[in-house]
Amino acid sequence: MGSRDTRTMSDSSRNPGPPSGSAELLARHRAVLPNWVNLYYDEPIEIVSGKGNRVVDASGKSYLDFFAGILTNMIGYDVPEVREAVERQLATGIVHTSTLYLIRAQVELAEKIARLSRIPDAKVFFTNSGTEANETALLLATYARKTDQVLAMRQSYHGRSFGAVSVTSNRSWKNNSLSPLNVHFLHGADRHLAQFRGLSDADYIKACVDDLRHVLATAVSNDVAALIAEPIQGVGGFTMAPDGLFAAYKEVLDAEGVLFISDEVQTGWGRTGSAFFGIENHGVVPDMLTFAKGLGNGFAVGGVVARGELMDALHAVGLSTFGGNPISMAAANATLDYVLDHDLQANAARTGDIIIAGLREAEQRLGVVGAVRGRGLMFAIELVDPATGAPAPALAVRFLEETKKLGLLVGKGGLYGNTLRMAPPLTITEDEAREGLGILVTALETLNDEAR
């Protein structure tokens, strides 16, 4: 009966015709997509074109993009090198083959990533997303260690699947307490808590390591599979551990045989400016590293790079039907080559310094700004009630509307929903950095005046 219904669908259902207005499209969206698929803005926008580091919505309004499709359009829009690489692959007629066959571009990309990871004897497995990459890493770790016990960080986010949610520590993103894993959460990015406030980096690291040792002595039973951690917490609002914390953690973990997984889904490919992968800021080479988002510059790609003995250990047959497909591999190779050829890590450091320094200057005079943090082209602003210092999620929503009006796209997150997080394409120019900074400061000044 289902197939008969499909055959008798009206022509208008099969071909909805020209684009509808934003209000009508919003109504259609709400009718057929889940309520939990969040949309920004009181009047959500439809992005219809992009060039460089700017996009245009259906009404013709242009925006400088400081969120890059949630850090995914890493080198901007309509990049000839990426477009032409994809077009060349499309011209072969081969869009998909699967991992049952050799894929030259997949091998070439894996060779580059294995080298860049610094992981010895590394092998790479490609997936479609960061969620799937983290699931794979957790499978490898629990298989290798023969235990379901896993350590993760408070305020973390690792994806929306069953296993990834279990190692996520943010109630806003956690649908249930059921878990395939036995998870214990560590301190490391929560210096706002009273017991840590005011501590130096060294003292905070010592307190966190003491807590790790206590967890291992009290909360777990014998073997632990792994610690999974983001060098900079994405959904957590770009909170980060002080440099050296994960090196101190790894000393303890190595003594216990516990593996370390660095979730680089948001911090990879030079975005922090100071390192190509975020974990390098801690002087650590992880056992496994997961990646996704920006590598494909909008094409779906993710993966795991791990020591060869970990990757090869699984005894069951495995494959990835769509992971590492020829189209995404063409895009990812072109994107990674572009990042390296244009030294976009250095550009992230240079332009990020302009923006973060400007925001910190504004922080000193604006009561609505509770904190500014960041590294390279990952930076965030926490908004607070100027009278009480309490987190102000309503101001964050207001800030989104103000920056939209001024022609800038930004993101929102944080444990309390009061953090604006931004990660422009790595190709942003110094002039665009100053332009975006000016809009951010203007919006903050507006909110500050309104809050008086």
Per-residue pLDDT at 178: 87
The total domain count for the chain is: 2
Could you read off the pLDDT of 216-249 as tens digits, one per residue? 999 999 899 999 999 999 999 999 999 999 999 9
Per-residue pLDDT at 176: 83
Q: Which two tokens stand for residue 26?
A: 């919003």
Strand ranges (DSSP E) for 221-281?
226-229, 232-233, 239-240, 259-263
Q: Is residue 2 one of the residues assigned to a domain?
A: no
- Residue 442: enclosing H or E segment and its boundaries? helix 430-451
Per-residue pLDDT at 291: 98
Is residue 384 very low, low, confident or very high in pLDDT (cuts 50, 70, 90)? very high
For residues 379 and 266, give the distance between their C-alpha atoms in angstroms, rounded to a whole number: 12
Per-residue pLDDT at 14: 52
Examine the domain organization and report whether 102 and 125 are in the same domain. Answer: yes
Could you read off the pLDDT of 263-278 as tens digits, one per residue? 999 999 999 999 999 9
Whether this model's pTM surpasses 0.75: yes
Examine the domain organization and report whether 447 and 354 are in the same domain. Answer: yes
Examine the domain organization and report whether 361 and 418 are in the same domain. Answer: yes
pLDDT score of 18 more than 70: no
Examine the domain organization and report whether 295 and 214 are in the same domain. Answer: yes
Per-residue pLDDT, averaged over 1-14, amounts to 44
* Angle (CA) 298 152 311, round 5°: 65
Give the number of other CB atoms < 10 A from CB of residue 314: 14
Q: Is residue 127 one of the residues assigned to a domain?
A: yes
Could you read off the pLDDT of 125-175 as tens digits, one per residue? 999 999 999 999 999 999 999 999 999 999 999 999 999 999 999 999 988
The domain of 181 spans 84-341
Examine the domain organization and report whether 379 and 259 are in the same domain. Answer: no
pLDDT score of 332 more than 70: yes
CB burial of residue 7 (10 Å; 0-12, 13-18, 19+): exposed
Boundary-marking domain end, from 314, 341, 368: 341
Examine the domain organization and report whether 110 and 223 are in the same domain. Answer: yes
Is residue 11 very low, low, confident or very high in pLDDT (cuts 50, 70, 90)? very low
pLDDT score of 3 more than 60: no
pLDDT score of 393 more than 60: yes
Residue type for position 81: E
Per-residue pLDDT, averaged over 111-116, amounts to 98
The sheet with strand 288-291 has its strands ordered as 122-127, 302-307, 288-291, 259-263, 226-229, 149-153, 182-186
- CA distances to 119, 134, 304, 374 from 288, rounded to whole Å, are 8, 10, 7, 24
Examine the domain organization and report whether 126 and 188 are in the same domain. Answer: yes
What is the sign, positive or negative, of the torsion defined by CA atoms of 131, 68, 86, 288?
negative
Could you read off the pLDDT of 59-86 as tens digits, one per residue? 999 999 999 999 999 999 999 999 999 9
Per-residue pLDDT, averaged over 368-397, amounts to 97
* Whole-number average pLDDT of the chain: 94
Q: Which residue has the higher pLDDT, 365 or 11?
A: 365
The closest of 336, 398, 416, 349 to 378, measured between CA atoms, is 349
Examine the domain organization and report whether 174 and 256 are in the same domain. Answer: yes
Q: Is residue 117 one of the residues assigned to a domain?
A: yes
